[in-house]
Amino acid sequence: MEMGLLIIFWYGVLHAFGPDHLTAIADFSIGRQRKKVMMVTLGFAIGHGASLYLFALLLSSLQIPEGWLAYGDVIASSVIILMGLYLLYLVLADRIHVSKHEHEGKEHIHIWFGKEHHHRRPFFNWLSTSAMLGILMGMGGARGMLVSLSAISSQDVSGWMVLSFTLGVALVFMVFGGLLALINARLMTSKQWLKGTFTFAGLISCWVGLQAFL
């Protein structure tokens, strides 16, 4: 059993390196403060890791035809494309704003999107939003998860299996989120740079999402 959990953990690590996952995290993390970036990555990891196993268990118990599972990939890819289009919209509509001010002699940079600047957003709003994104993305991995489950274990999915996979996913996501937070802190200092980064991320997101339809 322990060896099976290690394999599942490692599978979670490898699964997390998928370009669609990293693209989704990057889309949500550009221009965010470190705390918000880490909340996004944590919520995404929890939602994605748990949903993959739950969807796999549900689909397996209902014995849904293989062809139907492809719709999960369509949903996940559509989410990535819509996120990319939204980033491009923020650039074209001039909804990206940067302001600088000082507190006790230290310069602070605030980045916000839209017409108004909101200083606070409840913790669980960030966590729940990114978790929902993880769940939607998990639909695209349900088909591959069914294959993995049958290869790793012949028994029903357990809570320990869900936890092992989620920890593997979370490890990669949190490290990647930490790197994005460092980039935000060091490089996201001007509106021009932000707009260029959003444009690049939006185009990449659309390209990654479209690959599933080709």
User: Does this model's pTM top 0.95?
Assistant: no
What residue ranges do the domains of the chain occupy? 2-213
Q: List Cα–Cα distances, 82 to 72, 134, 137, 152, 171, in angstroms.
A: 15, 15, 13, 34, 26
Other residues' Cβ atoms within 10 Å of the Cβ of residue 136: 19
Query: Distance between alpha carbon 109 and the CA centroid of its chain, in Å?
Result: 25
Buried b (16+ CB within 10 A) or exposed e, 64-100: eeeeebeebbeebbebbbebbeebbebbeeeebbbee
Reference 41, options 173, 180, 184, 182; nearest CA is 173
Q: How far is 116 from 99, CA to CA, in rounded Å?
A: 12
Residue 75, helix vs strand vs coil: helix
Structural contact between residues 51 and 157, judged by C-beta atoms closer than 8 angstroms:
no
Per-residue pLDDT of the chain (214 residues), as tens digits, is 577 788 888 888 888 888 888 888 888 888 777 888 888 888 888 888 777 777 767 766 776 666 666 677 788 888 899 999 999 998 898 887 777 666 566 666 666 666 655 545 554 465 677 787 777 777 766 666 655 655 665 555 666 777 888 898 889 999 998 898 888 776 666 778 888 888 999 999 999 989 877 7
